[in-house]
Amino acid sequence: MATGRKSWRRVVLTALLILALIPVAGVLIVAIVPPPPSILMLRQLARGDGMDYQWRGLNQISPNLVNAAIAAEDARFCSHHGFDMEAIQKALDHNAEGGRLRGGSTISQQTAKNVFLWPGRDWIRKGLEAGYTVLIEAVWSKRRIMEVYLNVVEWAPGVYGAQAASRHWFGKDARDLSPREAARLAAILPAPRRYEAAAPGPYVRRRASRIQAAMGTVRNEGLNTCVVGR
């Protein structure tokens, strides 16, 4: 009887160990090679959106887009360790007042979700997102996090990553994006299925203008040095 209980415990512990190692293995693999198509990409492909996913190394992506992403999504990207507590608190305060919900996710959190998880706001996914965020911050460099982020984020229905987005919206390679074009791409990220970067409406134009101005702050104050250096 005791032997049977020990065998059962061994099976359970082995299963738990394997489950714990799966995320670690995934993070280690993507630290070196481009990630495979994500759950979101495959889901949208099944719905008929297609999948234009063209990986490019960070050296083949304009620094303007790096600056735009930091300016628009995560101004403290180079100084936090995955979670921006100030941004999270501001989001909680804003949401408590009612009105449109606002998130406080960092680029690291968004990368964890986009690469390893599924869309949604349920607590299980948020918990897994936090765990993956800790892992990628521990294993990847900030430069690698930004590189993966810019390659997997959706910029139009079925269009993923900087290169595909640049070709889709502006007919050029990601390395050739101007500051204005980069700001427009960053401006549509809250809702890339609703907004257009090439022929933007008033909201995107206003938001892109603010982002382009903030890109100057990102450069001048060195908020991008963990990615592009000096």
Q: What is the pLDDT of residues 31-54, one digit of tens each?
A: 999 999 999 999 999 999 999 999
Q: What is the pLDDT of residues 122-131, one digit of tens each?
A: 898 999 999 9
Q: What is the pLDDT of residues 104-124, one digit of tens each?
A: 799 999 999 999 998 888 898
Residue 10: pLDDT over 90: no
Across the range 188-199, mean pLDDT stands at 93
What per-residue string of b and e applies to 103-125 under the rule 16 or more CB within 10 Å gives b?
Answer: ebbbbbbbbbbbbbbeeeeeeee
pLDDT at 28: 95
pLDDT at 2: 59
pLDDT at 6: 65
The span from the CA of 120 to the CA of 195, in Å, is 20
Residue 73: pLDDT over 80: yes
Residue 19: pLDDT over 80: no
Percent of residues in the chain assigned helix, strand, coil, to nearest 5: 65, 5, 35
Q: What is the pLDDT of residues 138-177, one digit of tens each?
A: 999 999 999 999 999 999 999 999 999 999 999 999 999 9
Residue with tokens 């995107």: 204
Q: What is the dihedral of CA 122, 126, 132, 134, to 10 degrees?
A: -170
pLDDT at 98: 55
